[in-house]
Structure formats: structure tokens, C-alpha cells
Amino acid sequence: MTTVATLTPPTLTPQGGRRRRGIELIMLGFAIVLTLAAYSAVQMGVLGRYPTDLPVVTAYLVACAGVAHLAVRRLAPYADPVILPVAFALNGLGLVLIHRLDLAARAGLGSLLPSGDAGRQMIWTALSILLFVAVLGVVRDHRLLQRYTYTAMVLGLVLLLLPMLPVIGTQVNGARIWIHLGPLSFQPGEIAKVVLMVFFAGYLVAKREVLTLASRRVLGVDLPRARDLGPILVAWAASVLILVGQSDLGTSLLFFGGFVAVLYVATERLSWILIGMVLFVAGSWFAVITFAHVAERFQIWLHPFRYAENQSYQLVQGLYGFAAGGILGRGLGRGMPELVPYAKTDFIVATIGEELGLTGLMAVLVLYLVLAERGLRSALGVRDTFGKLLAAGLTFSLALQVFVVVGGVTRLIPLTGLTTPFLSYGGSSLVTNYVLIALLLRISDAARRPAPTATPATPATVAITGDAPTQAVRT
Amino acid sequence: MSQLTLTIVKIGFLALLWLFVLSAISVMRSDLFGTRVVQRVVSTRASKGSSRPATTSSRSRREGSRRRGKAVPHQLVVTAGPLAGTAVTLSEAPVVIGRAPECTLVLDDSYTSSRHARLRPTEDGTWTVEDLGSTNGTYLGPTKVSSPTVVPVGEPIRIGKTVLELRR
């Protein structure tokens, strides 16, 4: 056996003792100011007058932000100061944009949109904040989640498969991703995203040593052994099953992409990404030649203007929106984003592109980049492998979702029906993303906590531990 | 609303949006500079069969530790093993090292016990290491630790395949 000398990169150690909750509060205040400014601009742009209910809106935003901030201050005092304000700003901007589309519908500008969604989204925001606090309160240490690795697997699969059940699952606009329980409707695939990430992280902590073994080196890439391909093939098969059973390209892509990303982080082997890409391309090709609706999506992507009047109407209207927006945008409340079908959910990015222009859209994308950077930073800083994998996986799934949505709307990749995190109208998505943020804050709290939280032992005590006989030692 | 007002509102909002983005980035920037960068050593990682992970660099540091043996350590750094490069900032609290998730430093090393060893500060600022009845033992330099022993700065502590040392 040979000994290999490696030069490993430097590690970042978070500086101890800096809670930075004050900065978080200031940034939250800034996020509220930003939301109020957007709200005023919308009212002035659409209705031509100054907003009259600013105090009410302010009170609502301050209450939401205040509860979230106090919860972080109490429950995760060392957590990252940027994550929550950035998420809150995106959420606030989303509320304003939904309100703006509501106004357009009420003005009767030939709209396809139902009204009053901003109010419902405000209720969902309040519920999300409460759930955010609950997650921070219940999950006092992210390592507790590792115990529920296989429970998370079962729960995640059940959630993914729920919409395929005959009675509660319903098909909306071609995709079978909804469940209806009485008046409530929910997309269980959204919350499955977070639950399955807990499983992926816990599973790969246990199995990564096996998956790191290489059999052969081909073109500078260490290929894994054939018999270790099992997990990635199972994940691939499951995502193909979602694609076929639910006609949901987005969730399928997110599920498989998330698994491959965590696998790569766990094993540091580039070959897993290559294998994942080969499997992905094979799966996509298979789907395109086998299923008519996937083939249609593909055709729309390649030739949008050929079908501009029917199948690709939405995509083409979105592209016109971007064109109308230009560099600086039309100004909030002054474009015509309501011409795009489903502007509140799938195509909210097109609304941003039209009214805030390239400048505004870039700002929003940089905010997502900031979230992703903070998440990966927490993954680097935290000391246990499970936390690293979980933080990296959650962050990656958020970033991948943004990529898939924005890429689909801007015609970089074929369009898939995913929500834009925090911005889009939709309760399940908002709730899930706040849970995701709560877990990231929990992990970043562990990463930045300076003092090791060991139980202070009194000098004369003797530690009795489980698996090994303990030498009685007095100090 | 005049066209001019609306244009000012439009530009003003974009400016505010970017101001928010930039202030978020500046918070991150100060976070970045508040971070100490710990340069990992050039570690010679032994293969799985070999049980001598003591490296040349840790040996040279051991010589250095004789000069500043009484120094007060501030950091516990993993120099070899699966977690190489990880650092724990020391405080008043003892540090329990092992594989159990409730340990302060959770090692992902199959040669360590679930609660393997404990580092504890003394009144004069030095740290002692004691073995918590581990299967494979804890070594301070070449000697096996059988009772709480004072750890000089830079002296390698070997736990399973992992090597740790205290740094100032």
C-alpha cells in the first residue's frame, strides 16, 4: 500500500461568541421597509394614489418578522444573521407581487387570475412563521433528526405517492401532485423535499464509506464498483416513477438532483455526478420518446413561437414580458404581467422581469445566491457529518429549484411546474421553505456556537458510559 | 400621478432593492473577515491497513512544543484522520471526543469508541486529557494515557485513526 501526500484546503472556523442578532434585526427592518416601498409603488402604479392602509400592512409585517426574530434570538442565538432577513424580504416581495396581480384582475384587464390571493398568502405567511418557530423549538439539535433516518424515508415516499391515491389525489393542469382533504388542498411533494433530504443525509452518513470505494479509473475519473450503484439506481427509478405517475417533471428533477448532490458531497467523487447525469439524460430521452406530454414540453421549449397561440402561449407571453421590462423594467404596477397565465405561481419570475426589469431580477437572483451561500457556509462550519450533508442538501435543493424555475421561464431549459421559493403564491411551498430555513438556521447555530456544549462535569465525578468498561479515574 | 413621479418611484425602488442586496452581502463580508482561516497541514494519510497515522508534520510540531509547552491553548485541531482540518474553539467547558452524536467533537472514525476521551481545562489554563475507557486507547505522543495527563500545546493526541492537537 502506498502513502499519498495530499495538500488539503484551509478550513474556516467560525469566530466564537458573535451572535449578531442585532444585525439580523436591522436587516429584518430593512426587509420590511423594502416590502412597504414595493407595496406603495404598486398602489401608486396601479391605482394612481398613495396607499391608505400602510399602518395595517406595517403592523402585520412587524408582527411576523418580530415573532420570527424573537424565536431565533431565544432558540438559536448563534444562527446566521442573513438567512432570515433575506427569506423574509423575498416573501414580502412575493406578497406584493401577488397583490399587484390581484389588483390587475380586479381592474378587469382581460385577466385569467382569481382574486384575493394576496390575503390568503398573508395567512399562509403567518402560519409558516408559526411553523418556523415550532421547528426551531422542537428540533433543538439537528443531530436528533438522524435518529429518524428511515422514518423520514417512509414518510417522504408516502408523501410523494399520496397524490396517486384515487380519492384524495387530484389532477390539476395535467400534473397529479395535489391532494384535497375537504376544503384544503396541499402539494405533499413540497414537504417531501425536506423530509427526504433528512433521509438522504442520514443514509449517506452511514453508507458513504462503501460508496467511496472505487473500482477502476477511466479518463481520470474513479468509477465506483458496479454493486454499489444500487442506491443511485433506486433514486433514479423513483424519480422516473414520479415523472410517469404524476406527470411532474419538476419534482422528479428536484428529487434526483438532490440525491446526486448529497451523494457527491458525502463521497467527494465526481463519478457520481457523471453517473447521475448519464442516468438523467437517459431518463429524459426515454420520457421524451415515450410520453406525449413530456414530448410536448420539449417541443415547446425548442420552438416556442411555433405554438405561440396555444401550447406555448404562457411561455411566449412570459418572454414578451421580459422583453417589455428591458433593463430597468416598466415600474411596479405599470406593466401587464396578468397576460401571462399562472403569473402568481409558476410565472412570478416573468412578473419580476417585466416590472422590475433585468436589474430587479438580478437583485432577486443574488438574494437566492446569498441564501445558498449562507447554507453551504453552515454546512462547512458544522462539526458533524450529518449536519454537513443535511445543510448542503437542503441548500442545494433550494438552489436547484430556483434554477429549474427561472431556467424554465427564461427558456434555458424545458419548462417544469415548480414554484419559486418564497415568491410564488402557494401555501405548501411557503410552509416548506420556512421549515427548510428553520433547519438551516438550526444547523448554522450549531456551526457558529463557540463554546462546546458539553455537560460540565464536576472534578470528582466518574463518567460511566455505555459500551465500554470505564476506568474509574479521579482528578 | 405624474409620469415623473412614477419614474422616480421605479428607479428609487430598484436602488432600494440593490441597497438591501448589498447590505446583506456586507454583513456576510464582515462575517468572512471575522473568521480565522486555519491552514491545514500537508498530511501524509496512511493507508487503511497501517495503524501509524503520526505524520512528519506533527512530529516537527512536537519538537516545537517543547519551546512553548506552557502556553495556553485556544483551539483543538484535528490534524489527521477523516475529520482532518476541523477545529474546535476551546472555552471553559470540557471537550468530549467520540463517535456518539452528543459528543462535543463527533469523530467519524470506526476505530474510536462512542465516548472515547475527554479534554478538561485546569485552573492554570492548561488542559488535561483522560481516556473514557475506550477500546483502542488514547495516546499522548508515544505513551498511552491511563490517568488524566496535561497536554502540552502541539503534542499529538491519537484517538483511533484521528490525530488531534492543541493550538494557541
Confidence check: pLDDT of A277 > 80: yes
* Contact state of B106 with A385 under an 8 Å Cβ cutoff: yes
Helix axis angle, A83-106 to B3-33, nearest 10°:
160
DSSP A383: S
Q: How far is Cα A60 from Cα A402, in angstroms, rounded to an integer?
A: 27
What is the identity of the amino acid at A380?
A: L
Residue A10 Cα, gap to closest chain B Cα (Å): 5
Tell me the pLDDT of chain A averaged across its residues.
81
Residue to test with chain B: of A384, A390, A423, A462, most B Cβ within 10 A = A384
- A219: confidence class by pLDDT, cuts 50, 70, 90: low
| A248-274 confidence digits (pLDDT tens) | 777 778 888 888 898 888 887 788 888
Residue A235 Cα, gap to closest chain B Cα (Å): 25
Q: How far is Cα A330 from Cα A355, in angstroms, rounded to an integer?
A: 5
ipTM greater than cut 0.90: no
| Least confident range of A130-139, A198-207, B27-36, B73-82 | B27-36
| A396-440 confidence digits (pLDDT tens) | 999 999 999 999 999 998 888 788 999 998 888 999 999 999 999
Residue A357 Cα, gap to closest chain B Cα (Å): 9
| A283-305 confidence digits (pLDDT tens) | 888 878 887 777 888 888 888 88
Helix (H) or strand (E) holding B136: none
Confidence check: pLDDT of A61 > 50: yes
In this prediction, residue B20 carries a pLDDT of: 95
Residue B83 Cα, gap to closest chain A Cα (Å): 9
Question: Each residue's pLDDT tens digit in chain B (168 positions)?
Answer: 788 888 999 999 999 999 999 999 988 876 665 445 554 444 444 344 444 444 444 444 444 444 444 567 888 888 888 777 777 778 777 888 888 777 788 887 778 888 888 888 888 878 888 888 888 888 888 888 888 888 888 888 898 888 888 887
B chain contacts of residue A33, beta-carbon cutoff 8 Å: 16
Q: Is A357 on the interface with B (CB under 8 A)?
A: yes
Mean pLDDT of A69-81: 92
Residues 6+ positions from A130 with CB-CB distance below 8 Å: A67
Q: How far is Cα A443 from Cα A49, in angstroms, rounded to an integer?
A: 45
A102, A338 contact by CB (below 8 A): no
* Sole residue written with cell 476551546: B90
Choose the closest CB to B27 out of A13, A23, A89: A23
Return the closest-CA partner of residue B162 out of B45, B42, B40, B38.
B45
Return the closest-CA partner of residue A401 out of A187, A139, A173.
A187
Q: How far is Cα A421 from Cα A348, in angstroms, rounded to an integer?
A: 11
What is the identity of the amino acid at A351?
A: T
Q: How far is Cα B15 from Cα A192, in angstroms, rounded to an integer?
A: 38
Contact residues, A window 436-455, toward B, CB-based 8 Å cutoff: 450-454
Contact residues, A window 154-183, toward B, CB-based 8 Å cutoff: none
- A36: confidence class by pLDDT, cuts 50, 70, 90: very high
Dihedral Cα A327, A328, A333, A339, nearest 10 deg:
0
Residue to test with chain A: of B10, B144, B161, most A Cβ within 10 A = B10
User: Cα B130 to the chain's mean position, in Å?
Assistant: 19
Strands B105-106 and B95-98: parallel
| Least confident range of A32-41, A117-126, B13-22, B38-47 | B38-47
Residue A445 Cα, gap to closest chain B Cα (Å): 14
Q: Is B23 on the interface with A (CB under 8 A)?
A: yes
* Contact state of A384 with B106 under an 8 Å Cβ cutoff: yes
* Contact state of A49 with B94 under an 8 Å Cβ cutoff: no
Q: Is B8 on the interface with A (CB under 8 A)?
A: no
From its phi and psi, is residue A471 left (phi > 0), alpha (psi between -120 and 50) or beta? Answer: beta
Contact residues, A window 247-266, toward B, CB-based 8 Å cutoff: none
Confidence check: pLDDT of A218 > 70: no
User: What phi and psi values does residue B96 have, to the nearest 5 degrees?
Assistant: -100, 130
pTM exceeds 0.80 for this model: no
Strands B95-98 and B87-89: unpaired
A367, B24 contact by CB (below 8 A): yes
- Which residue on chain B is closest to A459 by alpha carbon? B120
Choose the closest CB to B95 out of A3, A89, A452: A452
Choose the closest CB to A11 out of B11, B85, B91: B85
Residues 6+ positions from A209 with CB-CB distance below 8 Å: none
Q: Is A25 on the interface with B (CB under 8 A)?
A: no
A31, A89 contact by CB (below 8 A): yes
DSSP A208: H
Confidence check: pLDDT of A308 > 90: no
User: What phi and psi values does residue B140 have, to the nearest 5 degrees?
Assistant: -110, 110
* Contact state of B104 with A453 under an 8 Å Cβ cutoff: yes
Cell of B81: 484522520
In this prediction, residue B18 carries a pLDDT of: 95
